[in-house]
Each structure stands twice: as structure tokens, then as C-alpha cells.
Amino acid sequence: MGASLRLILGDQLTLSLPIIQQADKQNDVLLLAEVNEEATYVKHHKKKLVLLFSAMRHFAQTLKDEGYVVRYRYFDDEDNQGSLLNEVKKTLQDNASLRRVLVTEPGEYRLLKSMHQWPQQLGTSVEILDDPRFYASLEDFKEWAKARKSLRMEFFYREMRKKHQILMEQGEPAGGKWNYDASNRKAMPAHIYPPEPTKFEPDAITQEVIKLVKKYFDDHFGNIGSFHYAVTREQALQVLNEFIEQRLPDFGKYQDAMRHNMPWLFHSHISFYLNCGLLTPREVIQQAESAWHAGEAPLNSVEGFIRQILGWREYVRGFYWHSMPTLQNDNFFNAKRDLPELFWSGHTNMNCLRQCIQDTKNHAYAHHIQRLMVIGNFSLLCELSPRQVQNWFLLVYADAYEWVELPNVAGMILYADGGNLASKPYIASGSYINKMSDYCKNCGYSVTKKTGEDACPFNYLYWRFVDSHHDKLKHNPRMGLVFKSFEKMSQQKIDTVRSDSAAFLDKLSKNEEI
Ligand code: FAD
Ligand code: DLZ
Ligand code: SF4
């Protein structure tokens, strides 16, 4: 067969991957490359670049310590080739003994398409290996999806629980229920203070990368200061362990809560590491389940947490590959408004939006409900262009890769796919945000006012959305109650909702202060 060149992508930093385990330590070359094409296909948040480049550099060192032959290409190497393809080409030119190329399947459609051209472009065989880090292979998902009219996460999740015997007791779900949401999703009382997130001082490698990102990517979104993320597997395991010990017991209860200047709350903060390979879903789920068996965390929290990973994470990945390439162009509501400037600046009098965008800018992180019920809800109600919203979500979060970002944006928040992923649009008025957060107390708008200049914009935008999309949504059984309430509204109130919304959206389109 001859020696092989084995390309390891920046989000494939997992020692147990077959591409690494099956490598011949004497002859094969493992290639990791920091390249402009991947760093700029969207202008990733500066902290995402620091995280990935530093994690790649540390991982390369681990591979060398394990005895592999590693070729590492730094972003500022004088002859850096700028793209993965060209780095592979150059490596083949420099090593005549390398006869074939191997790579683990990438997480994004654009890169997979491009790799399909590589054999021709390189004149060498290119083998694309499955990514076994997920519980469900793409074939498994296809099989599951083939058998049903509509795809719903909840049913997929139950199948996964049964198939992998997770939280199961004698063939039944642990505790007798599949889902403990009724005990979850509480507001967080003011006297509850979550533990500080696990933080690491940047070591010499990370400091080098911070300098590099400041030099070459200064025009990218986000603040680079106070970088404290894990960049090695050992550190990522510490984040996981501290989550299990300190936060998991309260995770379920406060999963949907939001608090002023506090993005971390009782969440795990492990998506960065799961998605780039420093942690695997199996070890995370095993640890959470063991904590329940040991009586260290209640079932509602453990089930709620496992559902996010075994359910949502696996489901969106299957859904992505099942729905591409059309998903990226879906636009069920024909939404066209340009992304407003405030998505970049965070300048707005709407405190909830300001907080969520500032958290995003500072940390390349916001938790799920901030993404879904504040930024997402706003994007849907204001009919922002799906392509522009997708681009924003792909570049602002350090855990963002298209396989996970796009279904959440096009499917979950924008309903741009017409309901293939979600059973109804996730829309809410200000009262939901008020119930789940303390944002409204510090807001320029009044959450109790429904109309008028100082009324919370979510209040009238919500009814405007219901009014405008009646025809497209009237057959959705989950929208029945909403339409019933709308029908009871007086014509005068509907007129005010329409005029307040029109004035607000006009200002938004002109990037005037809102
Ligand atoms: P926790 O709340 O502690 O949850 C545990 C884990 O569950 C997460 O680490 C993640 O791996 C998984 N998870 C939870 N919800 C989802 C979900 N909806 N889809 C997939 N996995 C999930 N997650 C990403 O990893 N990358 C993204 O680019 C991304 N974009 C999103 C965009 C929008 C509009 C929305 C609504 C959600 C998005 N999510 C994304 C899902 C979720 O918001 C993040 O996974 C979560 O906030 C990460 O923080 P955490 O690790 O503290 O999560
Ligand atoms: C996200 C990212 C960035 C910023 N840089 C690199 C890089 O320089 N080299 C690399 O191999 N991978 C990088 N990545 C991750 C890839 O973009 C990712 O593998 C694809 O998007 C597929 O998920
Ligand atoms: Fe957000 Fe409305 Fe509350 Fe202000 S009043 S924080 S805009 S929900």
C-alpha cells in the first residue's frame, strides 16, 4: 500500500480516531495545518481562533510524544500554502514515499465537496474515513429518517436511549419517564450564585497564538482579552469533572435561566471541547450517568443534560447531512431584512439583546436560551435574512461548525425549513424573557407595556408575526391557542401592533438606535 499522509483537521483532535490509531509510526506522516482558508471562510471570533490553533499545537505535541511522525504547519510559516488542499499537495511533494492520503470525514458540507475533488487535483487516492465519535452514524440516521413522515428529536432520542442502553432500567426509561422537563426550566432566584467557571492561565503556546491572532486577525469579531479556555485534553477533562461535581446537580432546574452579566450559570461549557475533539460524547455521557447512579446528581438534571448530547447534538448532526445542501437556502417566511449593525456592536436599548450580544462578543459563548429565545427570537420576529443570520452564528461562537450551527439556526430559530426540524416556530413575547431572567429590570423598555414607544418590542413584534404569517401557520396544531388569542384581539389593538412594529422595523432597517 505504501506510506500514507494522514490529515487531521482542527476539529479532529481525538487520539482514539482510527486515522491516528491505525497509523504506522515509522512511515506514515500525520499532518496538521493552520491555514488561511479555514481561518477566514467566515471571520471567526478571535477567541475561537486562539482556542483552535492552540489546541492544534498542543495536540501535535501529544502526537509526537506518542511516537508519531507529525508535520505541523504554522499559520505564519513563510511557505504556508494557505489551504488544506495545498498543504496536502506540498507534503506529498516533499515526501516521495507518501502514496495515498487519508482523512476523517469533515464536519462541513463545503469541505466534503471540496475533498471529493482532491483525488483528481492531487493525482493520488484519497480515502475519507467515517467519524466514529458520534453515537449515530450517518447511515443510522438515514435509516431512522427513512421510516417516518416527520422527523422529531424526541423520538430519535428515545431510540438512542434504547439502542445504547443509556438511563434505562429493565427496558424502561430510568424513573419511568423519558423526559423530566416538567421539573426543569425554573427561573433562578436572586440569591443563587453559580460556581465560577473553570479557568486556565494561557501557557507559552497559547500566548504565542494570542499574539498571532492579534497580528493577523485584528479585523475579526470579538474581544480577545482574558482568554481562559482549555486547550489540552487534560484541561478539558478538568472542565468536565468540575461541571459534574459542581454544576450538574442544578443543571436541569436552571437550564433555561438567564442573568445579567452571567453567561456561564449551571451550564457545562464543554461544547468547545466536544466539537473540536478534546472530549468525546461517550465519556461525557458515561460520567453524567455515573453521577446519577452514585446519588451525586438528580435524575431530572442528568436526563436533561444527556438529552442535549445524546438527543439534540446527535439529531442535528444527522439532520444536517440529511438536509444539505438545501437547508442553507431555505427561507420559509421569505425573510429579507439585513442583519442590523447592533449584532456586531451590541449597542441597543433592549437590555436582553445587549447582554446576549455582549456575552457573545466577550466570550465567543452564550448559553442555549440566550441564543434561542433572545437572539434567535429577535431574528425570527424581525425577519432577518436566514443566510446572514447563519453567517453570524457560524462566526461568533467558539463551538460553531456548520453541522451543528445550521440546523439550530435554519431549523430551530428561524423555522426557515418550514418545520422539518422543529414542530413550531420558537417565538415569545417579553413576558417569557422577564420570567426567565433579570434583564427586564435594567431595560430601556417596559416589559409590561404592550404598545407605545417604550413598550417592550418583543410584545408587539410577537403579534405582528402571528398576524403576518397566519396563512403559513394556520394548519399547525401547536399554533392553535396562539391564533385563538389573536382572533380575540380588537381591530384597534391589531392596528397599533402593526403601526408600532412598522415604526420599529423601519428604524432597525436604517440602523437607527432601538
Ligand atoms: P450545555 O447547556 O451544558 O449543554 C450540554 C451540551 O449539549 C452542549 O455542550 C452541546 O454539545 C449539547 N447541546 C445542547 N443543545 C444543543 C443543540 N441545540 N444542538 C446541538 N448540541 C446541543 N451548539 C454548538 O455546539 N455549536 C453551535 O454552533 C451552536 N449553535 C447554536 C445556534 C443556535 C441558534 C442555538 C439555539 C443553539 C446552538 N447551539 C450550538 C446549541 C447550544 O446553544 C450550545 O451547544 C450550548 O449553548 C453550548 O454550551 P454548553 O456546552 O455550556 O451547553
Ligand atoms: C475552524 C477551523 C479554523 C479556524 N482553522 C483551521 C485550520 O487552520 N486548520 C484546520 O485543519 N482546521 C481548522 N478549522 C476547523 C475546520 O474548519 C473544520 O475541520 C471544518 O470546518 C469541518 O468541520
Ligand atoms: Fe428584553 Fe423587552 Fe425585557 Fe427589555 S423589556 S429586556 S427588550 S424582554
The pTM assigned to this predicted structure is 0.97
How far is it, in rounded angstroms, from Cα 470 to Cα 9? 45
Fold of 342-509: DNA Cyclobutane Dipyrimidine Photolyase, subunit A; domain 3 (1.10.579)
What's residue 2's pLDDT? Answer: 84
Determine the distance separating the centroid of ligand 1 and the alpha carbon of 100, expressed in angstroms: 36
Say how far residue 408 (Cα) sits from the centre of its chain. Answer: 7
Kindly report, residue by residue over 229-270, the tens digit of the pLDDT: 999 999 999 999 999 999 999 999 999 999 999 999 999 999
Cis peptide before 325 (omega within 30 of 0): yes
Query: What SS3 class is residue 32?
Result: strand
Cβ neighbours around 381 below 10 Å, total: 25
Residue 125 phi/psi, 5° resolution? -75, 140
* Grid cell in block for residue 288: 453524567
For atom 8 of ligand 3, the residue with the nearest CA is 430
How far is it, in rounded angstroms, from Cα 24 to Cα 132? 20
Determine the distance separating the centroid of ligand 3 and the alpha carbon of 11, expressed in angstroms: 37
What's residue 182's pLDDT? Answer: 83
Determine the distance separating the centroid of ligand 3 and the alpha carbon of 444, expressed in angstroms: 8
User: Residue-wise pLDDT tens for the chain (514 aa)?
Assistant: 789 999 999 999 999 999 999 999 999 999 999 999 999 999 999 999 999 999 999 999 999 999 999 999 999 999 999 999 999 999 999 999 999 999 999 999 999 999 999 999 999 999 999 999 999 999 999 999 998 888 999 999 999 999 999 999 999 999 999 999 888 888 999 999 999 999 999 999 999 999 999 999 999 999 999 999 999 999 999 999 999 999 999 999 999 999 999 999 999 999 999 999 999 999 999 999 999 999 999 999 999 999 999 999 999 999 999 999 999 999 999 999 999 999 999 999 999 999 999 999 999 999 999 999 999 999 999 999 999 999 999 999 999 999 999 999 999 999 999 999 999 999 999 999 999 999 999 999 999 999 999 999 999 999 999 999 999 999 999 999 999 999 999 999 999 999 999 999 999 999 999 9
CA distances from 276 to 52, 70, 85, 106, 509 (A): 8, 19, 20, 11, 36
How far is it, in rounded angstroms, from Cα 318 to Cα 145? 9
* Grid cell in block for residue 229: 479556555
Query: Which atom of ligand 1 has the smallest separation from the CA of 376?
Result: 34
CA distances from 137 to 48, 79, 285, 315, 434 (A): 27, 38, 17, 11, 40
Determine the distance separating the centroid of ligand 3 and the alpha carbon of 450, expressed in angstroms: 11
Tell which CATH architecture fits domain 3-129: 3-Layer(aba) Sandwich (3.40)
For atom 9 of ligand 2, the residue with the nearest CA is 34
Domains 3-129 and 342-509 fall in the same CATH topology: no
Pocket of ligand 1 (CB under 6 A): 267-271, 274-275, 308-309, 312-313, 316, 367-368, 371-372, 376, 393, 397, 399-400, 404-405, 408-409, 412-413
Query: Which atom of ligand 1 has the smallest separation from the CA of 275?
Result: 25
Q: Is residue 246 packed enough to be buried (19+ CB in 10 Å), middle (13-18) or exposed (0-12)?
A: middle
Determine the distance separating the centroid of ligand 2 and the alpha carbon of 12, expressed in angstroms: 9
* Grid cell in block for residue 497: 401592533
Q: Is residue 184 within 8 Å of 255, Cβ to Cβ?
A: yes
Ligand showing the shortest atom-to-Cα distance for residue 432: 3
Which residues are CB-contacts of 341 (< 8 A; sequence separation ≥ 6)? 347, 511
Amino acid present at 208: E
C-beta of 34 in contact with ligand 2 (< 6 A): yes
Q: What DSSP element (H or E) covers 33? A: strand 29-33
Ligand showing the shortest atom-to-Cα distance for residue 430: 3
Determine the distance separating the centroid of ligand 1 and the alpha carbon of 196, expressed in angstroms: 20
By most ligand atoms within 8 Å of CB, the mutation choice from 19, 36, 38 for ligand 2 is 38
Amino acid present at 19: I
Query: Which atom of ligand 3 has the smallest separation from the CA of 430?
Result: 8
Measured CA angle at 331 (ends 329, 336), to 5 deg: 105
C-beta of 42 in contact with ligand 2 (< 6 A): no
Domain boundaries, the chain: 3-129, 138-194+247-320, 342-509
Bridge partners, 100 (sequence order) = 4, 125
Cβ neighbours around 148 below 10 Å, total: 10
Q: Assign residue 14 a region: left if phi > 0, alpha if psi is -120 to 50, beta otherwise? A: beta
Query: Which atom of ligand 3 has the smallest separation from the CA of 458?
Result: 2
Which residues are CB-contacts of 29 (< 8 A; sequence separation ≥ 6)? 3, 4, 5, 6, 69, 70, 71, 91, 95, 98
Ligand showing the shortest atom-to-Cα distance for residue 379: 1
The length of the chain is 514
Tell which CATH architecture fits domain 138-194+247-320: Alpha Horseshoe (1.25)
C-beta of 106 in contact with ligand 2 (< 6 A): yes
